[in-house]
């Protein structure tokens, strides 16, 4: 067991139990903060200093103040390939009719999705995939990527390096909100694409606004 202190920020989603079990089996001190989108960043995290930080599908952008408390490195597991940075990556991959997608491990910097890339796992997007099924694939592939990266670190005492580079394009919350909006003059094909790219359980759906009222898509 390695004498390292680990802090983890994560959504309580598929694979997190396995991630925590793996870390506790290999590292002496592991502290975990779980949350959901919209939750406030946990102030308790600032109460210690840590050797390593993992952001595993985290609902939070890790503040620089937190990153400065990390002695060795901070790694994010991003639910998208280097070609898709920022917010709503899976949405835009579906909208753009991509045939492959991926998950990325990278060093964390104050600027979102900009740190040096450690490793990427690609996988196919099938014609029948939905936003939901693509998200579930991301969870499964992120767990495999986590094992790839941590197994390498435990074996060699360092992290792997990738020659992949980030795309210049950074998708924003404003663009995702706009993707949800259906306008009167859009073609039936465009409307269908937007519905497919935004239809996810318990999340805002594609909508049209008329006479001050908002009408939202429902299956």
What's the confidence (pLDDT) of residue 112? 77
How many domains does the chain contain in total?
2
What does the alpha-carbon distance between residue 6 and residue 30 come to, in Å, rounded to a whole number?
Answer: 5
Average pLDDT over residues 120-147: 96
What's the confidence (pLDDT) of residue 137? 96
| Residue 64 burial class via C-beta count within 10 angstroms: exposed 0-12, middle 13-18, buried 19 and up | exposed
Give residue 140's Cα distance to chain centre. 12
Same domain (yes/no): 90, 20 = yes
Residue 129's pLDDT band, with cuts at 50, 70 and 90, is: very high
Average pLDDT over residues 179-197: 96
What does the alpha-carbon distance between residue 163 and residue 197 come to, in Å, rounded to a whole number?
Answer: 30
Same domain (yes/no): 198, 104 = no
Question: Which residue(s) pair with 56 in the sheet?
Answer: 10, 77
Same domain (yes/no): 158, 192 = no
What's the confidence (pLDDT) of residue 1? 84
Average pLDDT over residues 4-23: 92
What's the confidence (pLDDT) of residue 13? 79
Rounded to two decimals, what is the model's pTM? 0.90
Same domain (yes/no): 196, 90 = no
What's the confidence (pLDDT) of residue 70? 95
Task: For residue 176, give the nearest of 58, 92, 85, 81 by alpha carbon.
Answer: 92
- Averaged confidence pLDDT in the chain: 93
Enclosing H/E stretch for 155: helix 131-156
CATH number, domain of 52, equals: 3.40.50.170
Average pLDDT over residues 6-31: 93
Same domain (yes/no): 85, 186 = no
Kindly state the percentage of the chain with pLDDT values over 90. 84
- Using alpha carbons only, what angle is made at residue 170 by residues 69 and 116, rounded to the nearest 5 degrees? 45
Is residue 175 in a domain? Answer: no
Least confident of 70-84, 109-123, 138-152: 109-123
Same domain (yes/no): 62, 103 = yes
Q: In which domain, by residue range, is 19 found?
A: 2-170
pLDDT, tens only, 46-65: 998 899 999 999 999 999 99
pLDDT, tens only, 85-126: 988 999 999 999 999 999 999 999 878 777 899 999 999 999
Q: Tokens 């980030």 correspond to what residue?
A: 166
Local structure of residue 43 (DSSP, 8 states)? G
Residue 181's pLDDT band, with cuts at 50, 70 and 90, is: very high
Residue 25, CA distances (Å) to 1, 71, 124, 199, 206 in order? 7, 21, 32, 38, 44
Same domain (yes/no): 187, 106 = no
CB half-sphere exposure, 97, CA atoms < 13 A: 4
Kindly state the percentage of the chain with pLDDT values over 70. 100
Is residue 120 in a domain? Answer: yes
| Residue 196 burial class via C-beta count within 10 angstroms: exposed 0-12, middle 13-18, buried 19 and up | middle
Task: Decide the pairing of beta strands 207-210 and 213-216.
Answer: antiparallel
């Amino acid at each position: 067991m390695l004498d390292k202190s680990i802090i983890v920020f994560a959504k309580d989603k598929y694979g997190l139990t396995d991630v925590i079990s793996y870390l506790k089996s290999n590292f002496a001190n592991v502290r975990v903060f779980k949350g959901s989108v919209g939750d406030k960043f946990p102030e308790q995290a600032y109460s210690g200093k840590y050797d390593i930080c993992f952001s595993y599908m985290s609902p939070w952008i890790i503040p620089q103040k937190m990153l400065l408390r990390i002695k060795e490195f901070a790694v994010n597991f991003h639910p998208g390939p280097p070609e898709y940075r920022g917010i709503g990556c899976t949405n835009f991959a579906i909208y753009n009719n991509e045939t492959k997608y991926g998950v990325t491990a990278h060093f964390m910097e104050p600027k979102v999705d900009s740190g040096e890339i450690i490793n990427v796992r690609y996988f196919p997007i099938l014609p029948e995939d939905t936003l939901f099924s693509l998200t579930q694939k991301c969870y499964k592939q992120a767990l495999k990527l986590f094992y790839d990266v941590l197994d390498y670190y435990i074996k060699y005492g360092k992290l792997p390096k990738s020659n992949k580079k980030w795309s210049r394009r950074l998708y924003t919350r404003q663009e995702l909100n706009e993707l949800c909006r259906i306008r009167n003059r859009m073609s039936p094909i465009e409307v269908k694409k937007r519905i497919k790219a935004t239809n996810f359980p318990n999340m805002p759906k594609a909508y049209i606004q008329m006479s001050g009222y908002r009408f939202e898509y429902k299956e």
